[in-house]
Amino acid sequence: MSAPIIWIAIPFAVGFFLLFFLHKRLSPLIGGAVAAILSLTALIFPIDTALLLGAISIKISASIQFFGRSFALNTADGPLIAIVYGLAALWFFGTETSGTANRFVALGLMIVSLLTASIAVEPFLFAALLLDMAAILAIPLLVPIYQKPGRGIIRFLTYQTLAMPFILFSGWMLAGVESSPGAISATVQAGTILGLGFAFLVGIFPFYNWIPMLMEEAAPYASGFLLWALPTFTVIFALGFLDRYVWLRTSPQLSNAIQYAGIFMVASGGLFASQQKHIGRIMGYAAITETGLLVLAMGGRSAEIVNTVFLLLIPRGLELAVWALALSILKRRAYSLRFGEVKGLARKYPIAVSALILAHLSMTGFPLLAGFPPRLALWQELAGQPIYMSFWVFFGLLGLLVALARTLAVFVMAEENTGWAWNETWAQSVMLGLGALGLFVLGIFPQILQPLIVNLPALFNHLGL
């Protein structure tokens, strides 16, 4: 059997089956189990390498042809697939406790399979089409049946669709630029079009206004899943661009533009988060800030660019999952999630509030939590850059800390003589507790990620050299 069938076709087929043919109560368990098995399979069985189990020889072939396109997953893709499906399993197991729509797991599996296909397809430019297909499939995940989509959802789909022609056209131009690198005007045009495409796709200012709007309009758990999945594969796609084209890797102008875009996202995301009075929108701006850190890391010039990016990506999935689950539980009590409606909820939902605060602290890079080691690595990268870059990154993270202080103040602002209560279910408490424990484990023992990320630079032939 080939790797694309195992990690692309099978999860897509399982998601389709869950969507139409299976009882809703079993979907989180089956979807989470399938994602966990696929993650373990990627860890245990190397791709395109014969493995002897007693007298039986097992080999997973690397590629397959489908409608004239080649889909290939190599040995270096194994750790990445394990990380993606492992985090997806975490999201799927938490579906029942979040109260999210029953089709979340089915559509989530289909989205993850399409996103996995985006890193496997050759020619790699077709990844833009698969990313757009995943964005379209996310619409029924965000909008309940018979409900009109809000402005944030419409803007999300518009920006994701606009990104596709820009990226495809820039890829065609880049092929010509590579054959005649002396054509400076063509180089500038190709770089500009490519930058616009990824600005739409990733959500770089001013194209990230849909994120806080989405967190206000849609279910927090579904929105959080989308904010984890799409940027993760978009960043990998962008790294593939940098790896394939020599002039992109060696252009100081492009590197500076990427770093400035990342700094602006970090600073503006933190600033806007500190001014919000809606805890869902605060999570949205925190996700923008985190994406800015990823963009900033991509613009680095050191050999550790890939390690730094993936070190940021892995805790991001856990942080957003814990934060989104806590928000989903609180939203059952305070529908709008505005400060006026969540006032004093720390005494009524202490576990959910504690998990939310821990996830927020991790996003700010607080010591002993999962977000601290990657931010420490990024600070080390910034040590060789102009001081103003470090200042604006500090400013953005400080903005997140201010938003955290305001949120915590509202949560503990209970009326006098209000008693403590435990309104979370046992399942919700266990999921939140495991998520919080994971934040501490990744923060105190970041070396446990080393076996997963040590081989990830092999995904790229030239990047970081």
pTM: 0.91
Around Cβ 438, how many Cβ atoms within 10 Å? Answer: 18
Domain boundaries, the chain: 1-122, 123-459
CA angle 7, 328, 416 (to 5 degrees): 155
pLDDT at 465 over 60: no
Q: What is the pLDDT of residue 291?
A: 92
Q: What percent of the chain has pLDDT over 70?
A: 91
pLDDT at 237 over 80: yes
Q: Write out the two tokens for 300.
A: 């680095």
Q: What is the pLDDT of residue 462?
A: 67
pLDDT at 381 over 60: yes
pLDDT at 464 over 60: no
Sheet order of strands, 69-72 included? 63-66, 69-72, 121-122
Q: Which range is least confidently modeled, 110-124, 185-199, 344-358?
A: 185-199
Of residues 304 and 119, more confidence is placed in 119
- Phi/psi of residue 278, each to 5°? -135, 120
Q: What is the pLDDT of residue 451?
A: 82
Task: Sort residue 368 into left (φ over 0), alpha (ψ -120 to 50) or beta.
Answer: left
Q: Where residue 12 falls among pLDDT bands split at 50, 70, 90? A: very high
Nearest to 119 by CA among 62, 82, 85, 71: 71
Q: Mean pLDDT, to the nearest integer, of 6-20?
A: 88
Task: Tell me the pLDDT tens digit for each residue of 282-319.
Answer: 999 999 999 999 999 888 776 678 888 888 888 999 99
Show Cβ contacts of residue 55 under 8 Å, excluding neighbours closer than 6 positions. none
Show Cβ contacts of residue 42 under 8 Å, excluding neighbours closer than 6 positions. 7, 78, 79, 81, 82, 85
Q: Mean pLDDT, to the nearest integer, of 318-341?
A: 88
User: Would you call 55 exposed, middle or buried from its count of C-beta atoms within 10 A (0-12, 13-18, 19+)?
Assistant: exposed
Task: Tell me the pLDDT tens digit for each residue of 404-457.
Answer: 999 999 998 877 777 777 888 888 899 999 999 999 999 999 888 888 888 787
Task: Tell me the pLDDT tens digit for each residue of 63-95.
Answer: 787 777 788 787 777 888 999 999 999 999 988
C-alpha dihedral over 195, 200, 206, 211, to 10 degrees? -140
Residue 415 is given by DSSP the state P
H/E stretch holding 179? helix 151-179
3-state class (DSSP) for residue 31? helix
